[in-house]
Amino acid sequence: MPEFTLPELGENISAGDVLRVLVKPGDTLAMEQPVLELETDKATIEVPSSVAGTVGEVKVKPGDKVKVGQVILTVADAGKAEGQGRREGRDGQEGKDGRGAQEGKTERQAAEGRTERQDAGARPGGTVGANTAAKVPDEETGLEQHVEDARRDAGDKAGTTRPSREAAADAEPARQKVVDISRGARPPAETASADLPPAPAAPSVRRMARELGVDINQVPGTGPSGRISVDDVKAHAKRLVETASRGAGVAVQLPDFSRWGEVERQPMRAVRRKTAEHLSAAWQTIPHVTQFDLADITSLEELRKKYAKQTEAAGGNLTVTAIAVKVVASALRVFPQFNASIDLGSDEVVLKKYVNVGIAVDTDRGLLVPVIRNADQKNIVQLAVELAQLSEKARNRKIALEEMQGGCFSISNLGGIGGTYFTPIVNAPEVAILGISRARMEPVFQKESSEFVGRLMLPLSLSYDHRVIDGADGIRFLRWVAQALEDPFLLSLQG
C-alpha cells in the first residue's frame, strides 16, 4: 500500500511536532488536501497531501515529533480520487456506457481473459485507469514497466482508437506522483557506480578507504593495471582535505529575496571571502568541542591598573589580551598537544617546538589574525607593545601576509564589546582557540568567611579539535589558563 511521507518543509527545517491530524482512516483524500497541522521551530504550517485515494492507516498522532521522510499515513486505492475532473470524466463515461466499473471489469475478464492486474488498471472505452499508480513500485525499473504495461493495455483493448503514445501520456503523471511520494528516483551517481567494475584494491586497502571516508572507486591507482595501494588512498584523502580547506563546495541556491521587499547586493570583499572560505572549511572538517570556565581576575585587575602606566611608557597597552597571550604561551609549553597540527595524509600529528600566538583583530575589512612569534620568550610588556603595533598595522591596512602566518594557537577577545560566552571556530591548521568575553562582578562564596563576596569574573571559552585533543585534556588546559590568570605566580612556577 503506497505511503505518504513528510515532505521537505523549507530551508533548515528537518522535523516538527504534530498539533492536529486532519484526516482519519477511511477518509477520501484529495490532492493538496491538508493532512497535518505541524509546528516547527519557525512557524505552524499545514502539510498538504501529494497523493489522492482513501486513507488507510494513520501512523502519527498529536504530540508526536515527525521528521522529513517519515511515514505519515498509507493510502488505499491511490489514484481513484486523484482529481475531481478525472473522476467526473470516468463517471460520465460509465453512465454513457450504462454500466459501472466493476461490470466493465467482469465483462473484460470474460471476453478477453485479462489478468486481474491488467483489469485493475483499465476503464471502459480504453482509457487507462488512474489507480494503476497504486501498482507502481518505488524503483525506476518498476516505473518504466508501468508505462510499458499502460501502453500494452491501451493497444490491446478492443475497440480502442487512441494510440499507445497517448496511453503512456496518461500513465506519466501517475508515475511522477509515485516518485514524489516515495524516496524518489535513484541518484545518477549511484546508478552509474553500480554499473562500474569493482575497484582493483585489496581488502585492507578498502577497509582503510572506508575508515577515512573515501570512495574507493574515486581513487586513481598507481600500481600495475591501475591497482590501488594504501599510499594511493592516503594521497587521495589528502587532496580531499586540501580541497575542503580551500573552501571548495556547492553554492546554495538562494530564493529571490526581492519578492518580499527591497534588497541591495554588495560585492564580498577579499578578506571577507577568504574568511568565509577558511572558516567554512574548518567547520566542515574539524570535529569541534567547546568548553567554558570562569577565572577570578580581581587581583589581576589590580595589578593591571598598577602597571598600566609603565607599559604605556614603553608604547603598549597592558590589556587582558596581552596578559592572556603570555598565559597561553606558557600553557602551550605545559600542554604540547595544543601546539600541534594533524596531517591526515600521512597519519601523523605535527608537534611544534616554537610558540606563535595569533590575535583576532576586528577591522573595517573583516577579521584579521596577526601572529606574535616566539611569544613564550617575551615578557608581558614586550607582548603588549608588539600587540599594539600589529593591531594598528592591521586596522591601517599595512600588515604583511607574512605577519599573519605561522600561528600555533589563536585568541579572540570580545570583552570590549560585551557578551558572556561564545563558541569560536578553530583557526585551521591549528587545533585550538581561546575566546575571552567581558569580565563582570559576581557574588562568589568564600569558604573562609562563609560569605558571598563580589569578585571580578572573566568568562573563558575554549574550542578544540577533538581528533587531537580529548575532553579531559581540554578542561585541564582551560583550568590551567584560568588559574594562571587568578594567580600570576603560576607562570613563574610552571610556565
Contact 390, 399 (CB under 8 A): yes
Say how many domains are in the chain: 4
Q: Is residue 50 part of a domain?
A: yes
| pLDDT tens, the chain, 495 aa long | 788 898 887 666 778 888 889 999 999 999 889 998 887 765 667 889 888 889 999 999 998 888 888 999 998 876 544 444 344 444 444 444 444 444 444 444 444 444 444 444 444 444 333 333 333 334 344 444 444 454 455 444 444 444 444 444 444 444 433 333 333 333 444 444 445 567 788 878 888 888 788 888 889 888 887 889 988 888 888 887 766 655 544 556 788 899 999 999 987 776 777 788 888 888 888 999 999 999 999 999 999 999 999 999 999 999 999 999 999 999 999 999 999 999 988 889 999 999 999 999 998 878 889 999 999 999 999 999 999 999 999 888 788 878 988 999 999 999 889 888 999 999 999 999 999 999 999 999 988 889 999 999 999 999 999 999 999 999 999 999 999 999 887 777 765
Contact 54, 42 (CB under 8 A): no
For residue 41, what are the domain limits?
3-76
**288-296 and 361-363: which strand pairing?**
unpaired
Contact 437, 419 (CB under 8 A): yes
Predicted pLDDT at 181: 34
3-state helix, strand, coil split of the chain in percent (to 5) is: 40, 20, 35
Task: Kindly state the helix (H) or strand (E) to which residue 174 belongs, with its residue range.
Answer: helix 164-181
Assess whether 468 and 388 both reside in one domain. yes
Give exposure, 386-401, as e/b (b: 16+ Cβ within 10 Å): bbbbbbebbeeeebee
**What does each C-alpha distance from 154 to 140, 148, 150, 413 come to in angstroms?**
22, 10, 6, 74
- Does 466 qualify as catalytic in the annotation? yes
Assess whether 145 and 64 both reside in one domain. no
Predicted pLDDT at 128: 38
Predicted pLDDT at 495: 56
Assess whether 315 and 464 both reside in one domain. yes
Task: Kindly state the helix (H) or strand (E) to which residue 446 belongs, with its residue range.
Answer: strand 440-446
Q: Is residue 186 part of a domain?
A: no
Task: Kindly state the helix (H) or strand (E) to which residue 452 belongs, with its residue range.
Answer: strand 451-465
Task: Kindly state the helix (H) or strand (E) to which residue 329 belongs, with its residue range.
Answer: helix 320-334
Predicted pLDDT at 222: 86
**361-363 and 371-372: which strand pairing?**
unpaired
Amino acid symbol at 388: A
Q: Is residue 286 part of a domain?
A: yes
Q: Is residue 126 part of a domain?
A: yes
Q: Is 400 helix (H, G, I), strand (E, B) or coil?
A: coil
CA distance 447 to 360: 38
Contact 443, 453 (CB under 8 A): yes
Assess whether 361 and 478 both reside in one domain. yes
Predicted model pTM: 0.53
Assess whether 322 and 435 both reside in one domain. yes
Assess whether 334 and 469 both reside in one domain. yes
Q: Which distant-in-sequence residues (6+ apart) come within 8 Å of 278 by Cβ?
A: 245, 247, 427, 428
**432-436 and 361-363: which strand pairing?**
unpaired
Residue bearing cell 577591522? 363
Give exposure, 433-461, as e/b (b: 16+ Cβ within 10 Å): bbbbbebeeeeeeeeeeeeeeebbbbbbb
Q: Nearest Cα to 164, choosing from 116, 156, 30?
A: 156
CA distance 267 to 249: 19
Assess whether 282 and 161 both reside in one domain. no
Q: Is residue 257 part of a domain?
A: no
pLDDT in tens, 345-365: 888 999 999 999 999 999 887
Predicted pLDDT at 242: 67
Assess whether 122 and 51 both reside in one domain. no
Contact 331, 481 (CB under 8 A): yes
Predicted pLDDT at 320: 95
Assess whether 165 and 209 both reside in one domain. no
Burial class of 291 by CB neighbour count within 10 A (0 to 12, 13 to 18, 19+): middle
CA distance 94 to 79: 17
Report angle CA 311, 324, 336 to the nearest 5 degrees.
130
**What does each C-alpha distance from 258 to 42, 106, 227, 265 come to in angstroms?**
21, 58, 53, 11
Last residue of a domain, one of 181, 214, 235: 181
Looking up residue 352, the CATH number of its domain turns out to be 3.30.559.10
Assess whether 52 and 165 both reside in one domain. no
Assess whether 71 and 139 both reside in one domain. no
CA distance 113 to 262: 66
Looking up residue 65, the CATH number of its domain turns out to be 2.40.50.100
The dihedral region occupied by 34, where left means phi > 0, alpha psi between -120 and 50, and beta the remainder, is beta
- Residue 76: phi and psi, rounded to 5, are -90, 150
Last residue of a domain, one of 76, 101, 134: 76
Q: Is residue 222 part of a domain?
A: yes
Contact 423, 290 (CB under 8 A): yes
Assess whether 66 and 90 both reside in one domain. no
Last residue of a domain, one of 26, 43, 76: 76
Pick the catalytic residue from 146, 236, 288, 466: 466
Q: Is residue 256 part of a domain?
A: no
Q: Is residue 123 part of a domain?
A: yes
How far does CA 255 lie from the centroid of its chain? 19
- Grid cell digits, residue 384: 603588549
